[in-house]
Chain A
Amino acid sequence: MKTLNKLLIVTLIFLAFGSCEVQDGKNLNGADTTSISEDVSRGELGDAIAGILSDMRERIETQVDATSVLGREYWRIQSSDPRWTGDLLTGLLDDNTFYTTAPYSARYATVKDINLVLEGLVNSTADFTEAEKAAARGLVNTLKAHELLMVLNAQYQNGIRIEVSDPDNLGSFVSYDEALSSLSSILSDASSDLLNAGASFPFPIPSGFEDFNTPSTFDEFNKALAARIAVYQGNYTEALALLSESFLDLGGDLNSGAYFTFSLTGADLSNQLFFAQNSTIANARIAHPTFITDAEAGDTRLNKAPLRDAPLTADGLTGENDVFIYQSNVDPVGIIRNEELILLYAEANHITDPTEAVNAINIIRNAAGLPNYSGGTAPADLVNEILQQRRYSLFAEGGHRWIDVRRFDRLGDLPLDRPGDGTAEQFPIPQNENQ
């Protein structure tokens, strides 16, 4: 009987295992990243590119807020997060908290989206023509340069990683200057691709890029970004050449340019840079008082910071003006606008052709309801004027003032509001980069 038992047990187990194969688990909740990188199809390419353009918007509110607060453009008040009025005003930045890590990660996530498409284009068995592949490459590499520039603006002399396609073998950090050169060459390679890309993109382009929805017009956006980098490099000759091929239009609408668009539909994102006027300390953007006091009389750009019904006091800061750039939570956010290009043009000319620089400055001043520039035309004077105009024209649009004062070594000029406050030159490298 005992033997029978044992036999039975063994048989039972054998039976059970012979017939109970377990199926490999499947992910039921989304396409695997290898579906793009190993062989992107025509339909998937459109999805992947729309994903890139969507992902570029992720956490821009944190990116803009953090850099704007550092540049004392405005204060970000949030009763449930004291770090806005803490670290970012004391200048003692944490290497492992949201204002450092969230924009950094979000930009590199987009870079990953882009790298997967680039791998997919190499491996694709779909019937793409070479021109179509060039169109895709040109577009995504231009966007990649933009994303990396955003990271570099925050990290500055820390430098950044450029080559990040293999998560197990990331490229090393390159210095700020080297990174700017790399971004220039990524843009110029992308530009070559765009020029060999035929007449249209083989995928839909969102309306924020409606002025740049063909390879040749998209190249004007590419050149605008390249010009911004050239100015950061101090390479004004190069900048002028690039600007001439960009969408710079001295007589045109200052607001023409490329935009992030938003909506409240489905998985779309809303514009988190919008707060209603007279927001409470729960969540508010309060213009730095010096934005009002430093303005020339009659500057219509002060409309960006309307007077509140009542001042807001929080953490020892009292402000009377809201930041009110966007009228709703679906208003588009500029990526790069003609107004900036005109100011880049002025700066690129301010040494070699002061008259042209002043002409450009006057376009901006007149548009803001101000009379023509009447100050000195020595480079030092013009730099002061250009920085002043950039401060008001690009107010609260992405930390331009912080970057500008840093470029001209004037961080020390930023106003400090409370004892113990300070400035920061750059964000720390996120702790998880293990540098």
Chain B
Amino acid sequence: MKQFLLRNIFLWLFLTLPIFAFSQGKVNGNITDSEDGVPLAAVNVVVKGTTSGTTSDFDGNYEIEVSSFPSTLVFSSLGYETKELEVSGPTTLNVLLAPSATGLDEVIITGLASSVKRSNAANAVATVSAEELAGVTPPQTLDGALQGKFAGALITKSSGAPGGGISVRLRGVTSVNGNAQPLYIVDGVYVNNSSIFAPGLNDVSRAAAGGASVSSNQTQDNPSNRIADLNPDDIENIEILKGASAAAIYGARAAAGVIIITTKKGKAGKTKISFSQAIGSNSVINLRGLRNYTAEIAENGFGAGQGALFTQAQNDGSLVDYEKEIFGESGFISNTNVSASGGTEKTQFFAGFTNNEEAGIVKNTGYDKKSIRLNLNHKFWDDRANLSLTTNYINSSSNRGFFNNDNSGTTIGVSLTSTPPWAKLFPDENGNYPDNPYGASNPLQTRDLVTNNEKIERFIIGGTMDLMLYQKERSNLKLILSGGVDYFSLVTTAIFPKELQFMKPSNGGLNGLTAQGTTQNKDANYSAFLVHNIYTANNLNFTTQAGITKQTFSQNTIRNTTSNLIASETNLDQGANVSVSQFRLEQEDFGFFIQEEVNYQDKLIGTIGLRGDKSSNNGDANKLFYYPKASGAANLHNFDFWNLDVLSQFKLRVAYGQAGNFAPNGALFTAYNNSLIDGIVGIVVPNTLGDPDIQPETQKELEFGIDAGLLENRISLEFSYYIKKVDDLILQANNEPSSGFNFRFANAGNLENKGVELGINASVFANRDFSWDTGILFFKNKSKITKLDVDPFDTGGFGTGLGTFRIEEGKSVTQIVGNDGDGNIIVLGDAEPDFQMTFNNNFRYKDFTLSFLWHWKKGGDNINLSNLLFDFGQTSGDYDDFTLDPSGTLSNGDYRIDSFFAGNAAAFVEDAGYLRLREIGLYYSLPQNFLEKAFKGYVSNIRVGLSGNNLINIFDYNSYDPEVSNFGSNGLSSGVEVTPFPSSKRFMFHFSADF
């Protein structure tokens, strides 16, 4: 079909290629920056109300043909205020453009193939620029770098393990059991963000008891998510469509929001080489601390004779703080980035290479990534056609250690809970580790000998071709064809050598285990759009677009685990017991969309659109699901009646849209798992009953807002209120277990999110020597289950005795419930923050810049089970404090243990609010005249600086970091803590130069 379509379009193209052109008179001139007088290249110059336009060349010169005088010329360029000038006849017109203090003129993407100026947008689309993303301090992963940068998101790291594992929730929880992570699109390529678990880990930890062959709930092993692969240095800008009102045009995959990433492109002109090197180190944010042991505590808590051992160790100075020993490392960080960009009027390129190396705060952990990018742009056929290609190769390797929940006492985290400082765990001079008598594993041995590695090889390749099919003075028609492929292979390796305490057969171990998981994933997307523009004489513009899209997804994971190994061999065939499992996924989606935008003189802007989608993942693969949208914006300040000069911009906007969310793969089916007994293969029923009639979830979002600019837009204000409803929630609802199935998929409920977002940006001072820009964001969200067709059920916790999330009609989606000690189940908390605020500042004094970002999350609760495990191990740092028990009689440790025995979960639910200095950076640029003298013009910029990430963290939470998730990044159960990999802060030194 696709080829046929293309052929037709090309045929049509050649038939209509004749050039339409008019010439009445020429206007020319030079365009420069009003502040520093630098010539501005690539400024768009358009005759207002027409499509005739040109761009300035590298030296800022332009020449434009004007068909009739008088006319208005519009000069616009990204980052500069747009200027309109009237011309009455052919002339030379030199133009000064002022840098734009606000982003009103930037262009944001509204349709799949069209864009709109921010000042005309009807949605609160958040934008994060390259500077904001990675300019202050380099982030470890892309999604992590978004924290605190825009309103309306709750972004949570699952752990401090190197290499990512981050949950991004836009405007509240949008799905309980379906995908709740946004769709990522990089340069038009739909990018995969799965978290794929590695085999072998659960065989050892038994966190999801039952072994790898049976359980589908493998999410306690802390896999990373694949957005971590993208290189933040390559990114030009990120747009965030937070809900259906903005994202409807993306249809059935857009309910959790869409994050549109544009990578850096070359600019015509002199080839520019940029080099930057950052080195630094990381260290743990917070340790839980050591209990203040006495011989009595040792004797009572650890058994007879332990008091004497403690005293002896204390006397000979051999007490060891194992927490510090494990988490006390300073990891070395090195980020190197080289890029080259440039090109001619016709062809531009951007090439970038990045090498990141980061060691973790635990020995033998770390993350290395290499990313190579080549972006090309080529104009041809008299600039009527534009071909743009983006290619990215990523190679990464992360060593993630062995952490989180377990049922075997083998993870480093869990073994620390019961290991006292007088334990003798260091290896002898020959490298033999003693068994830890206080737990199933010697954490030092586990740290030093276990391998848990993820390796990625990934190609993301996209291409877009724009063809101006015809162009007249007042109308044009463009064809846009685009396609992209995201291919990756993920190889996970888990190696547990037989020397490990818990691998020794004498300790009941498996005598060594090696496991390898291999995933081949290929996602492809293709689309074809037509965009038609009409400009009428009185400045009424119509933009019509229509198109079709197709996406295919293919994933194949093979997991092998071998135990009872030969010597120290790790190949999968070097052992007695080999097991294999395979998971395949194939999906095909198909959609169309149409959209009409009307712009009346930038005063009133309206859009309506419709998307239709079908998918092999629906009960009826050929049934179309429709997602309409409509929006309107009124720029009151553009009307003649507007006379409030202090309000330089005042826009009212409203937008409505629908978007969908597919059922998780497999929800349609009830498929047997395989079994084996005595060499006889068999089939056993799965945990979850499928629903052959499952439908996608439908989200309906209505958003209102006001955008205002004061004092010539030096102060800008953006306010939004949204109501987001999700119907036909796909629930992996609890099922009567006597049916043989613990869960069943069903469309069985509705939920609602309501929230406000407020942003204020101000350019407080701006002159030659000093400037200060500041911004404040405030946002909050409230969610509710508005309808539930199944009985209330618990999800994402360990039962009401320890605190659990509960889906219940009329209650918050993220409520945490638990027993109150009298056997009643009461609400103990809510993972939803009360609100979040960020405070961002940029100061420039001469050649110095100082930027910092504070992020305050008020409220939001976690279920902290680390405390209890440390209490049971008698090792909690605050065990002997008296701050918890209201009656003041029990120590904290005893109080928590007592609560647990009394069936009272209240002590395990803790406020997870925080105030963080997310980022801070201080940079100095060498003066231009010095560079001029020293390097004779070969070096245009040299910058040095210091930066830090999470340097100040204020929280009342009683563990490493309130940002944590035992169950990984998807779903709503983030915020459950079971002995995670602690978070770290980073400190970096920077050097960069542009040539």
A and B are interacting partners? yes
Q: How far is the CA of A124 from the CA of B160 in the complex (A)?
A: 55
In this complex, the member of A36, A261, A280 whose beta carbon has the largest number of chain B beta carbons within 10 angstroms is: A280
Q: How far is the CA of A57 from the CA of B666 in the complex (A)?
A: 26
- The distance from the CB of B378 to the nearest CB of chain A, in whole angstroms, is 25
Within 8 A of A (CB), among B677-736: 677-687, 689, 734-736
Contacts A22-B615, A32-B669, A36-B683; is A268 near B677 (CB within 8 Å)? yes
A432:B683 contact, CB within 8 angstroms: no
Determine whether A245 belongs to the interface, using a CB cutoff of 8 Å to chain B.
Answer: no
Within 8 A of B (CB), among A315-341: 315, 318, 329
Q: How far is the CA of A311 from the CA of B306 in the complex (A)?
A: 11
In this complex, the member of A1, A261, A432 whose beta carbon has the largest number of chain B beta carbons within 10 angstroms is: A432
- The distance from the CB of A244 to the nearest CB of chain B, in whole angstroms, is 30
B801:A282 contact, CB within 8 angstroms: no
A282:B415 contact, CB within 8 angstroms: yes
B: number of interface residues (CB 8 Å): 131
- The distance from the CB of B713 to the nearest CB of chain A, in whole angstroms, is 37
Within 8 A of B (CB), among A257-281: 261, 263-269, 274-276, 279-281
8 Å CB contact of B407 from A49, A80, A116: A80
Contacts A265-B579, A275-B508; is A25 near B668 (CB within 8 Å)? yes
Helix, strand, loop or mixed for chain B's interface? mixed
**Scoring B residues 300 to 322 as 1 if CB is less than 8 Å from chain A, else 0, what string do you get?**
01111100000000000000000
| Closest A residue, CB atoms, query B673 | A30
B579:A312 contact, CB within 8 angstroms: no
Determine whether A48 belongs to the interface, using a CB cutoff of 8 Å to chain B.
Answer: yes
B681:A50 contact, CB within 8 angstroms: yes
B666: chain A residues within 8 A (beta carbon) = 27, 29
- The distance from the CB of B305 to the nearest CB of chain A, in whole angstroms, is 8
B738: chain A residues within 8 A (beta carbon) = 104, 108, 111, 160-161, 164, 170, 433
B736:A434 contact, CB within 8 angstroms: yes
A13:B548 contact, CB within 8 angstroms: yes
**Scoring A residues 27 to 60 as 1 if CB is less than 8 Å from chain B, else 0, what string do you get?**
1111111111000000000111111111101110
A265:B676 contact, CB within 8 angstroms: yes
A313: chain B residues within 8 A (beta carbon) = 301-304
A311:B680 contact, CB within 8 angstroms: no
Q: How far is the CA of A110 from the CA of B305 in the complex (A)?
A: 48
8 Å CB contact of B437 from A15, A280, A314: A280
Contacts A112-B739, A115-B740; is A208 near B678 (CB within 8 Å)? yes
- The distance from the CB of B201 to the nearest CB of chain A, in whole angstroms, is 15
A55: chain B residues within 8 A (beta carbon) = 675, 682, 684-685
Q: How far is the CA of A432 from the CA of B738 in the complex (A)?
A: 9
- The distance from the CB of A69 to the nearest CB of chain B, in whole angstroms, is 14
8 Å CB contact of A80 from B414, B477, B616, B741: B414
Determine whether A102 belongs to the interface, using a CB cutoff of 8 Å to chain B.
Answer: yes
Cβ-Cβ contact count across A and B, 8 Å cutoff = 343
Q: How far is the CA of A318 from the CA of B303 in the complex (A)?
A: 8
Determine whether A204 belongs to the interface, using a CB cutoff of 8 Å to chain B.
Answer: yes
8 Å CB contact of B579 from A35, A266, A280: A266
B532: chain A residues within 8 A (beta carbon) = 5
A96:B675 contact, CB within 8 angstroms: no
8 Å CB contact of A96 from B304, B685, B800: B800
Binds A, one of B222-230, B751-759, B791-799: B791-799
| Closest B residue, CB atoms, query A46 | B680
- The distance from the CB of A236 to the nearest CB of chain B, in whole angstroms, is 31
A9:B672 contact, CB within 8 angstroms: no
A282:B621 contact, CB within 8 angstroms: no
| Closest A residue, CB atoms, query B581 | A267
A280:B676 contact, CB within 8 angstroms: no
Q: How far is the CA of A22 from the CA of B614 in the complex (A)?
A: 8
Q: How far is the CA of A45 from the CA of B258 in the complex (A)?
A: 48
Within 8 A of B (CB), among A190-215: 204, 206-208
8 Å CB contact of A51 from B472, B675, B736: B675
8 Å CB contact of B799 from A16, A27, A94, A112: A94
8 Å CB contact of B872 from A90, A104, A206, A315: A315
The size bracket of the interface on A is: 35 or more
Determine whether B544 belongs to the interface, using a CB cutoff of 8 Å to chain A.
Answer: yes
Determine whether B900 belongs to the interface, using a CB cutoff of 8 Å to chain A.
Answer: yes
A31:B671 contact, CB within 8 angstroms: yes
Contacts A25-B617, A30-B672, A55-B684; is A80 near B563 (CB within 8 Å)? no
Q: How far is the CA of A301 from the CA of B677 in the complex (A)?
A: 30
In this complex, the member of A21, A78, A79 whose beta carbon has the largest number of chain B beta carbons within 10 angstroms is: A79
B685:A112 contact, CB within 8 angstroms: yes
| Closest B residue, CB atoms, query A166 | B739
Binds A, one of B113-121, B361-369, B585-593: B585-593
A268:B584 contact, CB within 8 angstroms: no
8 Å CB contact of A112 from B303, B528, B741, B978: B741
Determine whether A292 belongs to the interface, using a CB cutoff of 8 Å to chain B.
Answer: no
- The distance from the CB of B585 to the nearest CB of chain A, in whole angstroms, is 7
| Closest A residue, CB atoms, query B510 | A264
Contacts A16-B1, A20-B590; is A276 near B507 (CB within 8 Å)? yes
- The distance from the CB of B500 to the nearest CB of chain A, in whole angstroms, is 13
A115: chain B residues within 8 A (beta carbon) = 740
B370: chain A residues within 8 A (beta carbon) = none
Determine whether B213 belongs to the interface, using a CB cutoff of 8 Å to chain A.
Answer: yes
B676:A49 contact, CB within 8 angstroms: no
Contacts A261-B678, A432-B734; is A283 near B303 (CB within 8 Å)? no
- The distance from the CB of B916 to the nearest CB of chain A, in whole angstroms, is 30
Determine whether B54 belongs to the interface, using a CB cutoff of 8 Å to chain A.
Answer: no
8 Å CB contact of B903 from A20, A51, A58, A87: A87
Q: How far is the CA of A48 from the CA of B5 in the complex (A)?
A: 49
B677:A111 contact, CB within 8 angstroms: no
Q: How far is the CA of A8 from the CA of B547 in the complex (A)?
A: 11
Within 8 A of A (CB), among B765-812: 791, 793-794, 798-802, 804
Binds A, one of B68-76, B128-136, B438-446, B954-962: B438-446
**Scoring A residues 409 to 435 as 1 if CB is less than 8 Å from chain B, else 0, what string do you get?**
000000000001000000000111110
A8: chain B residues within 8 A (beta carbon) = 12, 530
B682:A266 contact, CB within 8 angstroms: no
B506: chain A residues within 8 A (beta carbon) = 276
- The distance from the CB of A417 to the nearest CB of chain B, in whole angstroms, is 12
B508:A33 contact, CB within 8 angstroms: no
Determine whether B925 belongs to the interface, using a CB cutoff of 8 Å to chain A.
Answer: no
B441: chain A residues within 8 A (beta carbon) = 282
Q: How far is the CA of A80 from the CA of B901 in the complex (A)?
A: 15
B547: chain A residues within 8 A (beta carbon) = 12
- The distance from the CB of B685 to the nearest CB of chain A, in whole angstroms, is 5
Contacts A112-B685, A161-B738, A268-B677; is A28 near B439 (CB within 8 Å)? no
A22:B741 contact, CB within 8 angstroms: no
B578:A78 contact, CB within 8 angstroms: no
Q: How far is the CA of A109 from the CA of B740 in the complex (A)?
A: 4
8 Å CB contact of A167 from B668, B669, B741: B741
Determine whether B594 belongs to the interface, using a CB cutoff of 8 Å to chain A.
Answer: yes
Q: How far is the CA of A49 from the CA of B680 in the complex (A)?
A: 10
A12:B577 contact, CB within 8 angstroms: no
A32: chain B residues within 8 A (beta carbon) = 669-672
Q: How far is the CA of A2 from the CA of B474 in the complex (A)?
A: 12
- The distance from the CB of B802 to the nearest CB of chain A, in whole angstroms, is 8
Q: How far is the CA of A49 from the CA of B507 in the complex (A)?
A: 34
| Closest A residue, CB atoms, query B550 | A20
Instruction: Please list 14 pairs of residues, one from A and one from B, whose beta carbons are closer than 8 Å in the complex, sorted by A's number.
Output: A12-B546, A12-B548, A23-B588, A25-B616, A28-B585, A32-B670, A79-B414, A79-B439, A83-B799, A105-B742, A109-B684, A170-B736, A207-B678, A281-B873
Interface pairs A-B: 7 shortest CB-CB: A282-B409, A112-B740, A282-B440, A50-B682, A51-B682, A97-B799, A313-B303
Q: Name B's A-contacting residues (CB within 8 A).
A: 1, 4-5, 8, 12, 209-211, 213-214, 301-305, 405-410, 414-415, 417-418, 436-441, 470, 472, 475, 477, 502, 505-510, 528, 530, 532, 534, 544, 546-548, 550, 563-564, 576-590, 592, 594, 614-618, 620-622, 666, 668-687, 689, 734-742, 744, 791, 793-794, 798-802, 804, 819, 823, 868-869, 872-873, 897, 900-903, 978
